[in-house]
Amino acid sequence: MHIPDGYLSPSTCVLMYGASAPFWSVAMRKMKRALNTRLIPLLSVVSAFSFVIMMFNVPLPGGTTGHAVGMGVASVVLGPWASMLAISIAILIQALFFGDGGITTLGANCFNMAIVGSLVAYVVYRLAAGRAPLVSSRRVVAAALGGYVAINTSALCAAIELGTQPLLFKTAAGAPLYAPYPLRIAVPAMLIGHLTFAGLAELVISASVIAYLQRTNPVLLAATAPGATTTALLPREIKRGWAVARPLWIGVALLMILTPLGILAAGTAWAEWSARDFSDPVARHEIMIASGRQAPPLHAPGGLERLSSLWTAPFAGYRAPFFHERFFGYLMSALVGGGIILGLFLFVNWLVQRRRRLPSDTDSV
């Protein structure tokens, strides 16, 4: 679901950045008012969780692969606005350092997964959970349903963006300039895989994490459950600061160690092929099978080929340059990505604490 550079026209990319910007702005304003020693640790661990869980590829029909996003978990624990920021940061790190998703298409990828995914997951969860107690099994089912509907809605958005490209942007001879497959191919190619395996992965992950939190620290679910009886425990948990997220970080670290399992699924995600794949006979056959047996262009579309080399990530494809074995490269990429996210939020935490100390320092002068 990570749209690479070159698959969307520059004007579409600008449009998607414009569509995402208001949501980012509102989310930043809300988080600026709400930043505290509880929220920052949770933002960090949920962002890292989303980053890591997206590295676990699952096989999809047609020989392609997909992955969960963690939008169900993020929306239930953080609420929709903080979830948008947490997942957007994970997507940004993926694009900048690992070449998973493009720089020009970052606005579209964040809109699909972080923004639409978070909003849909939150709305479905709230509607399905109602006023059930925090430890009710109804909330587990609601989280699972929210994650499942959200990831499929995100996939539909990506399919529409990709499928409209050959209709709107083509050469004088009618050849596509960017993504080559129209809506009639893009929509089923994206949705069949997400309605089945990828959607089920998101469903199981959402249900499992929420059920685990119900047993270990249900207060973390209180922010999106107004009226629940255990909401009264929240002030006691706020005082714990980073201790709230420490057990969750241990869980994320264990997932990082297991990330090489994500490369066991063979195949490339649909519409994430490189420009070279369009000229490679084996890759062309895989593209055709995954696209309803519709043969791809003989060569990469001109705009796609031009924009695809815009940014070269230092760990492109989650491969570490100093590890020849892909297993270790994938593991190291997970550790590096998680470390970058943790370091970023530690820096934000330091800035927040420093700003809070400044007024008292000034008053004492």
> What is residue 59's three-state secondary structure?
strand
149 contacts 250 by C-beta, under 8 angstroms: no
The least confident of 84-98, 141-155, 336-350 is: 336-350
Closest to 270 measured CA to CA, from 201, 181, 200: 181
SS3 content of the chain, % helix, strand, coil (to 5): 70, 0, 25
- In degrees, rounded to 5, the angle at the alpha carbon of residue 59 between the alpha carbons of residues 199 and 143 is 20
User: What interhelical angle do 80-98 and 71-78 show, nearest 10?
Assistant: 140
Mean pLDDT of 152-177: 97
Q: Could you tell me which of 128, 134, 93, 139 has the C-alpha nearest to residue 114?
A: 93
295: its two tokens:
């043969």
User: To which residue do tokens 């119900």 refer?
Assistant: 214
Encode pLDDT of 175-185 as tens digits.
Answer: 999 999 999 99
Average pLDDT for 214-241:
69
* Mean per-residue pLDDT, 129-141: 95
pLDDT at 22: 98
- With bands split at pLDDT 50, 70 and 90, how would you rate the model's confidence at 196? very high
Q: Per-residue pLDDT for 36 more than 70? A: no
3-class DSSP state of 351: helix
> Rounded distance, CA 83 to CA 283, Å?
36
CB 313 within 8 A of CB 97: yes
* 238-271 pLDDT per residue, tens: 445 677 778 889 999 999 999 999 988 878 999 9
Question: Which two structure tokens, joined as six digits, stand for 225?
Answer: 């459950």
258-316: pLDDT as tens digits: 999 998 887 899 999 999 999 999 999 999 999 999 999 999 999 999 999 999 999 99
User: From the CB of residue 8, how many other CB atoms can be counted at a distance below 10 Å?
Assistant: 30
pLDDT at 157 over 50: yes
> What are the two backbone dihedrals, phi and then psi, of residue 6, each rounded to the nearest 5 degrees?
100, -15
Q: Which residue has the tokens 């690992």?
A: 98
| Cα gap 35→246, rounded to integer Å | 18
Find the helix packing angle between 71-78 and 39-53, rounded to 10°. 170
- pTM, rounded to two decimals: 0.93
How far is it, in rounded angstroms, from Cα 103 to Cα 171?
Answer: 24
Where residue 280 falls (left for φ over 0; alpha for ψ -120 to 50; beta otherwise) is beta
Contacts of 51 (CB under 8 A, 6+ apart): 90, 93, 94, 337, 338, 341
pLDDT digits (tens, 9 = 90+) for 68-104: 999 999 999 999 999 999 999 999 999 999 999 999 9
**Cα–Cα distance measured from residue 272 to residue 277, given in angstroms and rounded to the nearest whole number:** 10
**Which domains does the chain carry?**
10-364 (1.10.1760.20)
Q: Are 70 and 54 in contact (CB under 8 A)?
A: yes
Confidence check: pLDDT of 168 > 80: yes
Distances (CA, A) of 247 to 68, 242, 244, 250, 254: 22, 10, 7, 5, 11
What's the average model confidence in pLDDT over 133-158? Answer: 97
- The Cα 328–Cα 348 span in angstroms is 30
Mean of the per-residue pLDDT values of the chain: 91
